[in-house]
Structure 1
Amino acid sequence: MADLHNSSTIPGQSGIPSSARTAPPDADGCGDEVLLELKGISKQFDGNQVLDNVDLTLNRGEAVAIIGPSGTGKSTILRIIAGLLSPDEGEIYVQGNRREGLIEDSPDPVGIGMVFQQAALFDSLSVEENVGFLLYQHSRLPARQIRQIVEDVLDMVGLPGTGSRYPAELSGGMRKRVSFARAIVSNPENPQDRPALLLYDEPTAGLDPIASTVIEDLIRAIQRNNGCSSYLIVTHQDSTIRRTADRVIFLHRGKIQWQGPVTAVDETDNPFVRQFFSGRVEGPIQMVH
């Protein structure tokens, strides 16, 4: 499975200004508009209730981390939002418009891009072909213009001059950045395709602390460079939560157990949050052995 970009297509430190790192989006009022709303979302797999009547609202310009133990429905929420999976119950609204069906059934009013935990690049394609896949397949742009667009996006994610390389020649962190580039590339002749919402599923999983910092900085830089773009990020890593999120949602057993600003995670007395960040075995989160 690869990156999802826009509402109708499924394809899969250098260069980042210091002013873009870790800072929240400018307070320009763009966060007042509700971009995404989930109402009463439920989902079962083989009789296992993964999501149980979940309500979630995301404003334009917000950066929200969904955290919690493994197997509690975090990635499932992302796939439902992306239109790759249908809920059993509930309603999804994108910029006030109710979504019916999956991504291929009807276009959303805003672009949605998704970066999966595994970079999911096409091994037989070069970096340039991977990043430009959407444009090569679904636009009438000349190849020369697509190559220039791809070069610009690769430069944005700190990978200039890598277009001719193949995924096997890249480190794990570099492959992640290529997948980011593919998620945000857009057709200049269709500016409405530019993703207003990005979904990140464990973007720093398996990376060393330095590579994780590069990815965290990149996530914030992409948000700022795209203006009022919003994102949801699923992660377990403490540094990623603190450096990329404005607001945190804690999910356990298919329900939201707590939500609040990232600055409140050290102050709340919520037992789920306290156990999660302390790593204690004792508490309401019981691991299955």
Structure 2
Amino acid sequence: MPHDFETLIELRGISKSFGNNLILDGIDLNIHQGQAMAIIGPSGTGKSTILRILAGLLIPDAGEVYINGLKRKGWVDDIRDPIGIGMVFQNAALFDSLTVRENVGFSLYQHSKLPARTIQKLVDEKLEMVGLPGIGDRFPAELSGGMRKRVSFARAILPNPENPAHNPEIILYDEPTAGLDPIASTVIEDLIRDLQNNGGGCKTYVMVTHQDSTIRRTADEVIFLYQGKIKWSGDVEQTYSTDNAIVRQFFSGSVDGPIKILN
């Protein structure tokens, strides 16, 4: 699919196995500036694995990752990407013993020399942006599931004034609405789009999701991953009108079709 915007991340021939299980098999994928991409497919087909490779949290067995046209050389703790990449984990991944403010500002408290007062101001701005003003002193256990998700969003978009090059330009969402009721899901879906359109958020994101409403309301483009390969891609309207048998089976929930059911 042609794009007028620059490529932020490119995967070339990415493969990854866990033991004898081949999870990703020669994946090629371009993520463009301003893109809202959903990765869908059956469970266990490597969707979250792609996110972790994009984030630099997981090393592929084969293939290359390019960030802003530069080949990634560092991995995990040694990563030196030219742009910031934020990630929102499925379970929010907050520290129970830290306050909301300490969770959101964790990277700045640990890796910057900014005064605590400055970090607090930055954190409070982002909490307000995600619709949670005034909760910085609470602990995660005092929050609902949807509120914890929004706290993790605030953490993912927190800038670092000491190193503007690492301010997040792309967000990776792993099942952002999983486990939420329909109303809470709608709040999160609206927030994802608001952050894309707000100057203080991120205009580009890649999301793994199974939820129909999340795909319809937050994705512009969809790729379908199955058996370690991208089997189909298209815009969100095409996703629901395609005659591709794999995509149609996935959305119908039928046990009959090309997708093999794992017992």
Q: TM-score normalised to the size of structure 2?
A: 0.96
Q: What's the offset of the Cα at 1:228?
A: 6.4
Q: What's the offset of the Cα at 1:79?
A: 0.5
Q: 5 Å matches for 1:1-289?
A: 32-226=5-199, 229-289=203-263
Contact 1:31–1:62 (CA<8 Å) still a contact in 2? no
Moved more, 176-185 or 226-235: 226-235
Q: TM-score normalised to the size of structure 1?
A: 0.87
Moved more, 216-225 or 53-62: 216-225
Pick closer, same or farther for the CA change 1:110–1:139 going to 2, 3 Å.
Answer: same
- Which secondary structure state, in structure 1, belongs to the residue aligned with residue 26 of structure 2? strand
Contact 1:195–1:229 (CA<8 Å) still a contact in 2? no
Q: What's the offset of the Cα at 1:188?
A: 2.3
Pick closer, same or farther for the CA change 1:78–1:163 going to 2, 3 Å.
Answer: same
- Aligned equivalents of 2:92, 2:178: Cα separation in 1: 11
Give the letter for the 1:276 counterpart: F
- Aligned equivalents of 1:95, 1:123: Cα separation in 2: 35
Contact 1:65–1:234 (CA<8 Å) still a contact in 2? yes
Give the letter for the 2:134 counterpart: G
Contact 2:195–2:202 (CA<8 Å) still a contact in 1? no
Moved more, 226-235 or 259-268: 226-235
Contact 2:56–2:79 (CA<8 Å) still a contact in 1? no
Percent identity among equivalent residues?
67
- Aligned equivalents of 2:149, 2:46: Cα separation in 1: 23
- Which secondary structure state, in structure 1, belongs to the residue aligned with residue 77 of structure 2? coil
Q: What's the offset of the Cα at 1:105?
A: 2.3
Runs of 4+ aligned residues of structure 1 deviating over 3 Å after TM superposition are none
Q: How many residues align structurally?
A: 260
Give the letter for the 1:164 counterpart: D
- Which secondary structure state, in structure 1, belongs to the residue aligned with residue 247 of structure 2? helix
Q: What's the offset of the Cα at 1:141?
A: 1.1
- Aligned equivalents of 2:138, 2:260: Cα separation in 1: 45
Q: What's the offset of the Cα at 1:83?
A: 0.5
- Which secondary structure state, in structure 2, belongs to the residue aligned with residue 199 of structure 1? strand
- Aligned equivalents of 2:53, 2:162: Cα separation in 1: 28
Q: What's the offset of the Cα at 1:104?
A: 2.6
- Aligned equivalents of 1:142, 1:229: Cα separation in 2: 29
Could you say what the CA RMSD is over the residues aligned between the two structures, in angstroms?
1.3
Q: Which protein, 1 or 2, shows the higher relative CO under an 8 Å CA cutoff with sep ≥ 6?
A: 1
Aligned position for 1:26: none
Contact 1:111–1:195 (CA<8 Å) still a contact in 2? yes
